[in-house]
Chain A
Amino acid sequence: MEARYKQLARRMILTGLAVALIPLYVVGAAIYLYLASAQQQSLRAELLALVVNRASAVDLFLTERTAMLEALAHTASLGDVDEASELAALLRTLNKRQHSFVDIGVLNADGNHVAYVGPYELRDRNYLGEPWFEETLSRGVDVSDVFLGFRGVPHFVVAVRRDDSPRPWILRATIDSELFTTLVRSGQVGLTGDAYIVNRAGAYQTPPRFGGAILSTAPFDPSIAPPGSNVVERQLPDGRRILSAFAWLEGKDWLLVIDRESSETLAPLQLAWKMALVGLAVCTVLIAGAIVFHVRQMVGRLEAEDRKRVAAEAQLAHSARLVSLGRMAAGVAHEINNPLAAIGQLAGLMEDLIGEDFVRSSPHGELFRTNVRKIQEHVDRTRDITHRMLGFARRMEPHQDTLNPNDVVEEALSFIEREAAFREVQITRQLDPALPMIRSDRAQLQQVILNLVNNALDAVANRGRIVVSTRAYGEVIEVQIDDDGVGIPKELRDRIFDPFFTTKEPGKGSGLGLSICHTIMQQLNGSITFDSEPGRGTTFFVRLPRVPI
């Protein structure tokens, strides 16, 4: 395809693709964004409900445990509870329904652990100065933050003060960390979800599933969580974005956090999106394929039409030029013929009149006679020229001649015989002597055959062979021209009748020869076809209808 048609095709393809695909992509993206945002919103709502629910469960748990201890403290007296057996009975009572307390102990106002029941040796330890102790002493009840304690194991305690006489005492119990952690983790969702508690300073109060041990510092500042509950999107140190639902507990300065990785919840949507993308890709390929195919075909057709039109115009211009050239030649020939005829007859008359006496009577008599004859010979020569010009002019105009195709072949061959002989190309004639006379345009037919034998001569090497044969069969007269030349490559076969198609060097051939032959044969109601084997040679067939005379 020629460059400007390629450009046209490219432009049409791009426009087609843009018109077809851009809306498709825009709609696809819009749907995705809408779905993603809807998903995100419902996820936030879900997380918020979850965190509120879990926070109240934790609150309830702590409140209940505190209340249980308070009830115990107020029904017992110091004299009762400093006995280990009494205390053990109390612990059993507390844990009757649920094993929520690990140990229990009684402290006097000086911070001495006066009684203890539990798996550790904590009796007689002094807790003076411990924050929870001070807090309980002053406020009457406290749920401690998680701390390491004397055992070096993270835990937290619930403590209540009994204002007994003469001095107040404190009942403290360690909450079962495992139970509490389980309670908190009941807010955990999915494979990447997390649920944990941090204190105001940001230290983990229950172990998070990911990203740290208990008591280590969480990677965010709890103050980003506003009072009450809400959902915040934040970025983890490793760059993942997660949704965090925050809820401050009511009874304790703790923040319940439920994390959810956005990508996990969006996974089904993303799967759908991937499938949609595959669908889009398939659509794109189909649409693009259809557009490219049709545009190519259309532009190809357009180019062929254009080429045909240009060729027709060129041929028209060519023949118009030849016709006017022919008319001019005819005009010149006519004008010359009349004076030439007069010159010829005048000289002829002079020759008639120059008798032997005249020749002898003058020293130049013989010269006169010779010259008068020569004048007539030159008139003959000039006549040959003007008659050729007239013949040329006649050839340019379409007309019907009665002709023997063999004669036309002979005439055409006479034009190239000199060059053929010079190159030692052997031209063999196999002309059917019984060929009938037909009506056709002699000049046009001669041009076709001359073109073909000329091409054959170009195709064969020196000492090559050309065979021209004629035959009649049915209603067809066939002229066949074989050569043993280079042949026509397969890929060029569709194009050799195209106008301006040439394999000759630029400037050597117009590329119109075979195209004109083709057109002429169509005008003569005949046909022109060929067979070729690269390297072996080419055969052209010219077929004419056997038009009766």
Chain B
Amino acid sequence: MAVRVLVVDDEQDFLDSIVMRLELRSIEVDGVGTGVAALELLDAKPFDVVVLDIKMPGMDGIEVLRQIRSKHPGVEVIVLTGHASQEFRQLGRELGAFDYLIKPVRLDTVLERIQAACRRRRGTDCS
């Protein structure tokens, strides 16, 4: 089964383009612009990996991460943000994020991390 990815980012251009590029690589991907929408979608639909921004209007990424960990403990979260602050990195690690990537990154890197996260979630390679 293909990897199911949810990308959460308030930067629309970034969100649209990364979602489309992942789709082009045969990944089942959804994109939402807010934390609330992400949590709603997670309730409605199963995902393997969430790619999550930290600084967002409304509910920020840390809170979203916290709720994902409690409600959907099996879902792996990759933090992808422009904020490299040490305390967020530390917090993300403590809350069990799979990885913490600083924007901008090449899609290849994101893909590689998504595959690694999926491997951990499923225990086998994800196609």
Contacts and interface: CB of A to CB of B under 8 A. Distances in A.
Nearest to A399: B86
Given A387-B84, A390-B84, A337 B102 contact: yes
A414 to B, nearest CB: 22
20 contacts: A334-B55, A334-B84, A336-B82, A337-B82, A337-B103, A337-B104, A338-B103, A340-B103, A340-B104, A341-B103, A342-B14, A345-B18, A346-B13, A346-B14, A348-B106, A349-B21, A387-B102, A390-B102, A394-B84, A397-B86
A333 interface: yes
A346 B85 CA distance: 25
Interface in A315-361: 330, 333-346, 348-349, 352-353
A348 B107 contact: yes
A383 interface: yes
B97 to A, nearest CB: 18
Interface string B20-36: 11001000000000000
Which of the four size classes fits the interface of chain B? 20 to 34
A439 to B, nearest CB: 14
A382 B21 CA distance: 22
Interface string A381-403: 01100010010001001010000
A379 interface: yes
A394 B21 contact: no
A383 B13 CA distance: 18
A399 B89 CA distance: 13
A380 B13 CA distance: 18
A383 B84 contact: no
B43 interface: no
Given A338-B11, A349-B17, A344 B85 contact: no
Nearest to A379: B104
Contact of A334 (B13, B21, B82): B82
Contacts of B82: 333-338, 340-341
B83 interface: yes
Contacts of A205: none
B37 interface: no
B105 interface: yes
A80 B13 CA distance: 173
Nearest to B103: A341
Contact of B84 (A333, A346, A380): A333
A346 B86 contact: no
B84 A341 contact: no
B105 A341 contact: yes
A470 interface: no
Given A341-B11, A342-B11, A342-B13, A394 B86 contact: yes
Interface residues of A, number: 29
Contacts of B24: 352-353
Given A342-B17, A345-B14, A349-B21, A334 B106 contact: no
Interface in B80-109: 81-86, 102-107
Nearest to B110: A345
Given A341-B14, A352-B21, A376 B106 contact: yes
A345 B84 contact: no
Q: In the complex, which of the residues B17, B24, B107 has the most CB atoms of chain A within 10 Å of its own CB atom?
A: B17
Contacts of B103: 337-338, 340-341, 383
Contact of A341 (B20, B85, B104): B104
B104 A383 contact: yes
Given A338-B11, A390-B84, A345 B17 contact: yes
Nearest to B25: A352
B14 A338 contact: yes
B27 to A, nearest CB: 13
A203 to B, nearest CB: 119
Given A338-B11, A338-B14, A349 B20 contact: yes
B94 to A, nearest CB: 15
Nearest to B108: A348
B78 to A, nearest CB: 14
Shortest 3 CB-CB contacts between residues of A and residues of B? A337-B82, A341-B103, A341-B104
A396 to B, nearest CB: 11
Contacts of A333: 82, 84
Nearest to A353: B24
A528 B14 CA distance: 50
A344 B86 CA distance: 24
A399 B84 CA distance: 15
Contacts of A345: 13-14, 17-18, 21, 104, 107
Nearest to A346: B17
B106 A380 contact: yes
Given A337-B84, A340-B104, A345-B13, 15 more contacts: A335-B82, A337-B82, A337-B83, A337-B103, A338-B14, A339-B11, A341-B103, A345-B17, A345-B18, A345-B107, A348-B106, A349-B20, A352-B21, A380-B104, A387-B84
Given A337-B103, A387-B102, A348 B17 contact: yes
Given A342-B13, A346-B13, A330 B84 contact: yes
A75 B125 CA distance: 175
